């Protein structure tokens, strides 16, 4: 694993920075393979993949934080897994076992732990789990294969200057809708 990185943790934006490892698993013939970490950030897919033509894809996003004691923590990762599976069901994509989702994210964090920013910088290691429909498929139907992958990117705060709250009033009133 590469350890020498030169990142200004206090001035990170929300942009892609290639890290050392990502996780990839393929669903084929009704089951997931074991999945593995890879250094290759490129995916090879069919030109007829449903992800390209029919948008059969979804993603989640979560962050790994460095705590004051130096340990790394992910927040409610199981909820991200369940939310992704809700999206998968709506898109007729296979379920990711929650344990597989969590294990994939943990492997990626551990393999890229030197990219988890120091405590107090406001920066985090952002994880992007995603699934895409792949394989030769020209019709409107679920893909024959799927790729589940997780990559990691060190990021600064999404809103660098912080959030400026604003007041809202929520009402049931809709003047345009007929009664």
The structural domains of the chain, ordered by start, are 16-29+49-155 (3.30.470.10)
pLDDT at 5: 83
Residue burial 93-111, b: 16+ Cβ < 10 Å; e: rest: bbebebebbbebbbbbbeb
φ, ψ for residue 124, nearest 5 deg:
-145, 170
User: How many CA within 13 A on the CB side of residue 95?
Assistant: 8
67's tokens:
């705590």
d(CA 62, CA 75) in angstroms, rounded, equals 8
SS3 label, residue 110:
helix
- Note the pLDDT tens digit of each residue in 96-125: 999 999 999 999 999 999 999 999 998 999
- Note the pLDDT tens digit of each residue in 34-84: 999 999 999 999 999 999 999 999 999 999 999 999 999 999 999 999 999
Contact 133, 51 (CB under 8 A): yes
d(CA 139, CA 141) in angstroms, rounded, equals 6
CA 142 to chain centre: 21
Kindly state the average pLDDT of the residues 134-146. 95
């Amino acid at each position: 694993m590469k350890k020498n990185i030169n990142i200004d943790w206090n001035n990170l934006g929300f942009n892609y920075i290639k890290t050392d490892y990502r996780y990839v698993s393929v669903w084929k013939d009704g089951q997931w393979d074991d999945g593995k970490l890879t250094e290759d950030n490129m995916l090879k897919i069919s030109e007829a993949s449903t992800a390209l033509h029919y948008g059969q894809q979804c993603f989640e996003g979560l962050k790994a934080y460095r705590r004051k004691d130096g340990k790394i923590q992910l927040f409610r990762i199981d909820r991200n897994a369940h939310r992704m599976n809700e999206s998968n069901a709506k898109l007729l994509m296979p379920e990711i076992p929650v344990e597989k989702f969590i294990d994939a994210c943990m492997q990626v964090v551990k393999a890229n732990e030197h990219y988890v920013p120091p405590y107090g910088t406001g920066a985090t290691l952002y994880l992007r789990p995603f699934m895409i429909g792949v394989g030769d498929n020209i019709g409107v139907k679920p893909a024959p294969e799927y790729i589940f992958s997780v990559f990691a990117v060190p990021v600064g705060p999404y809103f660098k200057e912080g959030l400026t709250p604003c007041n809202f009033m929520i009402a049931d009133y809709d003047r345009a809708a007929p009664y």
